Structure 1
């Protein structure tokens, strides 16, 4: 018998998932072993620009909350061992489950490798670790989840014989910048004018000139590496200094502007950025201007049976020189356009499902006021994320901790009739937070009652705690019964951390911060 190519073998393995329940990634009462590989198999050259990126593996620790199902077993693999206190923090959140019972159903494994390689690659390079994972999982009762699916995750799935709940890597193109534009065009969704993929500087110059010619009033263009993460692969070309340039001279003048691009990643240079064009490809796209500009997003889910479901909408919080870097999000998105986001997001999902995509996907948009629209906002699709994203873990935490439901008719999430809102961030980062250890953070959380309250289902869930000591960086999701309450909870956490990290010597006793009680 001729052996099947790896992609066909992978798809055959994935077909086992179709026999599982339709909402396999949601909390249910089924008896499964879940292998969590929180690997960021993304261009490492871009990823290392994100402070503390190795600790982003902790973002999927909210998956531990799924151990509230007394039949679920979980294997969680990381590059470096997790601090026991961080693991205990999540297990203590489980309602109605004894800590010891949940801990006995959790197997933590590590590669003990802090290099810049993808976690999946590190695992594949360790056959004894692979053997240990394989022995821990029950055949026909296991599946694997990851942050994003590449050839590395495919190979890991095949070698372990465990189906991967994620899109096949041969679909990765549809989550790239150029692939996203093709999907938007096919779905008839409004999106900024832009260029096909260019692989050389000369080719990129040609595309920029063509986009400018089609849009004579454009003020800025965005140059995007075809594979980017959180906006780190974007650069903004300001055309305002050269608007009077004659058409025949534009190519040379634009080339002279390249070293002065506004790069969104810290420390990026044209010399380095230009080298990545031949590796990843790049597109040019019209920069959407506006005095009041929002960055909403849609999150959807494609089941193993091919059904597309609405998960959530968010207003993203962006930063960086030109507002291109993902910092956090607010849930839900503004009511004036959240239902329109759902309509567009479902259209994208239907096309992705026809191509064989699976599990979570997201669509990022730009929204600007437009009185001519029924909802008063012009909405432009920007890109597709065919993977988990920065909005995945906050919503998963809300969903699993409150046991509520999302209502697609209103775009609200309700728990026992109470609407829930949150503000979340992966980037609460300040120099004075450096040196805080997980036990220090737990002490602060406990003393000031900042933890999530399971009785009111409000409060803060923390993540990225491993990045705190070295990088002064922390992630948090603050849940309230209104936006005002969620924001107040978030601000209280930040104020307490600022107070607690004032310069205090061992000889100077720390004055207690008055407790702030919430009804």
Structure 2
């Protein structure tokens, strides 16, 4: 778990007192299109910094919360958005122009931007806590009786910030974080009677891990592969695949040592990961061994839900996750909704998990990842579903669905597992945080806007179809961009997604003789003087 200096004993009491206010104000908060409120967005990924560094461009992932700007379509909402580094003005303008029926200047006047001007690997929340003057400016910008705070994930740092600002945090109490770990997830699955792969208890040394892995292998024959997981890894970056077929060559007394010697040969999912580094993390984060679910044409669906401050459990969405990496365990993107063959089953299982979490006192977003394996039963295909892990945070499926909901003002229908716009059209999308090609390196956000406008890649509010972009800050250095392509059918969403790739490839396809690098066509944007300086951070005002 993340650690920090011991807080005063009353911090937990004060935090729960503030969260209790959410129960009285929940209806107003939830109906964001009517409420008069201030929303403090702390776009911090307060996760293990060493694991985060495995993600290319992770310093720009604070931009994923920019979908929150769409809440400014409520003319009475004010948004205070904090980041480690100042946001590119073009990214702000892009989101504000997506707001239907709201003048740009009106929305911009209700948006306050703060930055810590700190690019260190520390989490954004820690950076804010280290700057009391910045915290005071944020406090002065808020109306305490009408304010609440949202974040990517909740830890003791977010709890401390909530108490020091004296506003409630709409997120999990950090005392419950264990239920979002690999071992905690397995315990909840067992309590709920939900099928999940055989696996080990949580261990803290490489030697214990070898013993636990052999024990699981011996009890679950035939089993040829297992996944070794750091207990607090995420996006599959803390996983390694271990081939166990060689163990048949050893007697029971020799297997633990033989396996311990083979650990360095595991296939690590994170680029550049080694056993030396991975093994050092085990005493810090803990690890488990879990059976690898094999199967031809298997899929990785997920379900998302939330627990309201009144302890009601709601299912929000289902997705089919798109995975990559050497063994298909790295999260790359998703399709909404999940396949109709199992989406209603996912909803039922997700509701059982949500009720269990609610009974433990959990709050706000949660997601459950599964593996679905097709089984031929006579002339039909049935899907066997295994729960893999619980995420007690916003994830890679959160912002695309939030964008769909706010852009179309629609609703999710649990009876069908479909989402319908306010005009009654079923909506579908494909989304990613990881559209990444070396040929895109060097593109600036301004260049991307030129391409979007010239090639008509924007989201069209009249048809409620098109693509919405994010992670623009990753583009120039990493050649990486995120997008959500929304259509009126799965085929249309896929076609719109592929059209973006086709256009970006074409626009970066003309090589220059001098550098061998690709560039978009030159099409400079004209700015007036006041517009060019329209986005200072509010702590500079």
Q: In the alignment, is the contact (CA less than 8 A) between 2:64 and 2:471 conserved in 1?
A: yes
| 1:94-173 correspondence to structure 2 within 5 Å | 94-173=99-178
For residues 243 and 361 of structure 1, what CA distance do their matches in structure 2 show?
40
Provide the residue aligned with 1:517 in structure 2. Answer: none
For residues 143 and 177 of structure 1, what CA distance do their matches in structure 2 show?
30
Q: Summarize the Cα distance change of 1:511–1:384 in structure 2 as closer, same or farther, 3 Å threshold.
A: closer
For residues 477 and 243 of structure 1, what CA distance do their matches in structure 2 show?
47
Provide the residue aligned with 1:74 in structure 2. Answer: 79
| 1:417-436 correspondence to structure 2 within 5 Å | 417-436=424-443
Q: In the alignment, is the contact (CA less than 8 A) between 1:204 and 1:284 conserved in 2?
A: yes
SS of match in other structure, 2:29? coil
Provide the residue aligned with 1:333 in structure 2. Answer: 338
How far 1:429 sits from its partner (Å)? 0.3
Q: In the alignment, is the contact (CA less than 8 A) between 1:14 and 1:164 conserved in 2?
A: yes
How far 1:241 sits from its partner (Å)? 3.5
Q: 1:501 aligns with which of 508, 513, 526?
A: 508
Q: 2:328 aligns with which of 323, 327, 330?
A: 323
Pair 1:408-2:397 in alignment: no
Deviations 1:141-183 (A, max 9, x none): 0000000000110011011011100000000000000000000
How far 1:417 sits from its partner (Å)? 1.8
| 1:198-217 correspondence to structure 2 within 5 Å | 198-217=203-222
Provide the residue aligned with 1:313 in structure 2. Answer: 318
How far 1:229 sits from its partner (Å)? 1.6
Deviations 1:240-277 (A, max 9, x none): 23333322221111111100011000100000000000
Q: Summarize the Cα distance change of 1:26–1:376 in structure 2 as closer, same or farther, 3 Å threshold.
A: farther
How far 1:511 sits from its partner (Å)? 8.3
How many matched pairs? Answer: 510
Provide the residue aligned with 1:50 in structure 2. Answer: 55
For residues 460 and 152 of structure 1, what CA distance do their matches in structure 2 show?
35
Q: In the alignment, is the contact (CA less than 8 A) between 2:507 and 2:519 conserved in 1?
A: no
Q: In the alignment, is the contact (CA less than 8 A) between 1:297 and 1:316 conserved in 2?
A: yes
Provide the residue aligned with 2:396 in structure 1. Answer: 390
Provide the residue aligned with 2:461 in structure 1. Answer: 454
Deviations 1:342-399 (A, max 9, x none): 0000000001011111111000000001246997100000000001000000000000
Provide the residue aligned with 2:93 in structure 1. Answer: 88
How far 1:23 sits from its partner (Å)? 7.3
Q: Summarize the Cα distance change of 1:255–1:106 in structure 2 as closer, same or farther, 3 Å threshold.
A: same
SS of match in other structure, 2:40? strand
Comparing 20-29 with 106-115, greater Cα deviation is found at 20-29
For residues 427 and 90 of structure 1, what CA distance do their matches in structure 2 show?
20
For residues 491 and 367 of structure 1, what CA distance do their matches in structure 2 show?
26
For residues 223 and 394 of structure 2, what CA distance do their matches in structure 1 show?
33
Provide the residue aligned with 1:515 in structure 2. Answer: none
For residues 102 and 381 of structure 2, what CA distance do their matches in structure 1 show?
45
Q: Normalized against structure 2, the TM-score is what?
A: 0.92
RMSD across aligned positions (CA): 1.7
Q: For structure 2, list consecutive stretches of 5 or more residues without a partner in the other structure.
A: 1-7, 523-541
Q: For structure 1, list consecutive stretches of 5 or more residues without a partner in the other structure.
A: 513-519
Q: 1:488 aligns with which of 491, 495, 517?
A: 495
SS of match in other structure, 2:353? helix
Comparing 303-312 with 369-378, greater Cα deviation is found at 369-378
SS of match in other structure, 1:243? helix
Provide the residue aligned with 2:294 in structure 1. Answer: 289
Q: 1:465 aligns with which of 460, 469, 472?
A: 472
How far 1:504 sits from its partner (Å)? 3.5
How far 1:9 sits from its partner (Å)? 1.4
Q: 1:440 aligns with which of 434, 441, 447?
A: 447
Q: In the alignment, is the contact (CA less than 8 A) between 2:447 and 2:520 conserved in 1?
A: no
Comparing 5-14 with 223-232, greater Cα deviation is found at 5-14
Q: In the alignment, is the contact (CA less than 8 A) between 2:33 and 2:73 conserved in 1?
A: no
For residues 282 and 510 of structure 1, what CA distance do their matches in structure 2 show?
46
Comparing 445-454 with 413-422, greater Cα deviation is found at 413-422
| 1:300-379 correspondence to structure 2 within 5 Å | 300-371=305-376, 376-379=382-385
For residues 381 and 34 of structure 2, what CA distance do their matches in structure 1 show?
40
Q: In the alignment, is the contact (CA less than 8 A) between 2:509 and 2:519 conserved in 1?
A: no
For residues 139 and 509 of structure 1, what CA distance do their matches in structure 2 show?
48
Q: 1:268 aligns with which of 273, 282, 290?
A: 273
For residues 413 and 296 of structure 1, what CA distance do their matches in structure 2 show?
17
Q: In the alignment, is the contact (CA less than 8 A) between 2:507 and 2:521 conserved in 1?
A: no
How far 1:510 sits from its partner (Å)? 7.8
For residues 509 and 258 of structure 1, what CA distance do their matches in structure 2 show?
44
Q: In the alignment, is the contact (CA less than 8 A) between 1:465 and 1:475 conserved in 2?
A: yes
Q: In the alignment, is the contact (CA less than 8 A) between 2:243 and 2:266 conserved in 1?
A: yes
Q: In the alignment, is the contact (CA less than 8 A) between 2:28 and 2:35 conserved in 1?
A: no
